[in-house]
């Protein structure tokens, strides 16, 4: 189960990130590097994670025209990350050309093909904030539409709320991967997350990977917090 926990390293400096990785030690093997840390370390954090033999999810959520995303994706894959993501709402052409280009580039240059995951609807959206951006379908309907589009476009899976994982598996099949933020152990703060579950519920609902940030990174004992989450994931 340790390998199904992805720790979101949303911290303001390389020093802070290194400190957390060292404190977490064997309690975490898979890390998500998002916009904040990638920018404030100018990408250097990736090298540190590799020297520590940790897996990397590069969470830059590409959302642009097909050509721009495809070129960015080539660079992401060339950095040797294990997983990266694009916004599914960028469309089918953007996603399918990205998959094809990354696979060809990896083949021609001898590097591994990373998992490519589509972001459906951010877990910070609730019904009210979602309607403000003008979507005419409900959140579950939109998530399902986007998940199916991701699958048709050749992506490996989606980022979604654990609340949606079960239905995605039913429609897209068990092999289609669900990567789920919006996870909160009981007694921790929701902060800006809205469509949340506990770690145990997330696993029961079909989440393949749990992405957890602040409940670990802001804990007074991050190592124990990560271990407690993994224990909860196992005891189902
Ligand atoms: O601190 P917290 O556990 O809320 O962190 C969740 C992480 O997952 C953040 O880095 C956030 O950017 C990311 N994420 C998310 N919802 C999505 C996609 C990514 O919360 N739909």
Using pLDDT thresholds of 50, 70 and 90, give the confidence band for residue 190: confident
Q: What is the pLDDT of residues 89-112, one digit of tens each?
A: 999 999 999 999 999 999 999 989
Supply the residue whose CA is at minimum distance from atom 4 of ligand 1.
213
Average pLDDT score over residue span 218-236? 92
Supply the residue whose CA is at minimum distance from atom 18 of ligand 1.
122
Extract the tokens encoding 198: 């506990």
Q: What is the number of structural domains in the chain?
A: 1
pLDDT at 106: 94
Q: In angstroms, what is the span from residue 129 Cα to ligand 1's centroid?
A: 17
Using pLDDT thresholds of 50, 70 and 90, give the confidence band for residue 3: confident
Q: What is the pLDDT of residues 58-86, one digit of tens each?
A: 999 999 999 999 999 999 999 999 999 99
The CATH number of the domain holding residue 87 is 3.20.20.70
Q: In angstroms, what is the span from residue 181 Cα to ligand 1's centroid?
A: 5
Range of the structural domain that residue 7 is part of: 2-234
Q: Which residue in 50, 52, 61, 74 is the catalytic one? A: 61
> Distance between CA 63 and CA 4 in Å, rounded?
26
pLDDT at 1: 74
CB count in 10 Å sphere of residue 125: 18
- Provide the 8-state DSSP code for 88: G
- The secondary structure of 1-51 as a DSSP string is -GGGEEEE---S-HHHHHHHHHHHGGG--EEEEEHHHHHHTTTHHHHHHHH
């Amino acid at each position: 189960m340790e390998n199904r926990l992805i720790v979101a390293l949303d911290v303001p400096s390389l020093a802070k990130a290194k400190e957390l990785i060292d404190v977490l030690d064997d309690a975490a093997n898979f890390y998500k590097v998002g916009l904040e840390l990638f920018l404030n370390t100018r990408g250097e954090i990736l090298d540190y994670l590799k020297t520590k033999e940790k897996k990397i999810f590069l969470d830059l959520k590409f959302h642009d025209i097909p050509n721009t995303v495809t070129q960015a994706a080539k660079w992401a894959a060339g950095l040797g990350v294990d997983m990266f993501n694009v916004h599914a709402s960028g469309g089918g052409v953007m996603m399918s050309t990205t998959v094809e280009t990354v696979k060809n580039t990896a083949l021609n240059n001898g590097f591994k093909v990373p998992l490519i995951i589509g972001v459906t609807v951010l877990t910070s959206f609730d019904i009210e904030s979602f309607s403000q951006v003008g979507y005419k379908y409900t959140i579950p309907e939109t998530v399902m539409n986007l998940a199916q589009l991701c699958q048709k476009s050749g992506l490996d899976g989606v980022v979604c709320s654990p609340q949606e994982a079960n239905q995605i598996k039913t429609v897209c099949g068990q092999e289609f991967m669900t990567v789920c933020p919006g996870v909160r152990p009981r007694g921790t703060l929701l902060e800006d997350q809205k469509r949340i579950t506990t770690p145990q519920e997330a696993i029961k609902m079909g989440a393949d990977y749990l992405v957890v940030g602040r409940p670990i990174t802001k804990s007074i004992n991050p190592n124990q917090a990560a271990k407690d989450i993994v224990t909860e994931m196992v005891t189902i």
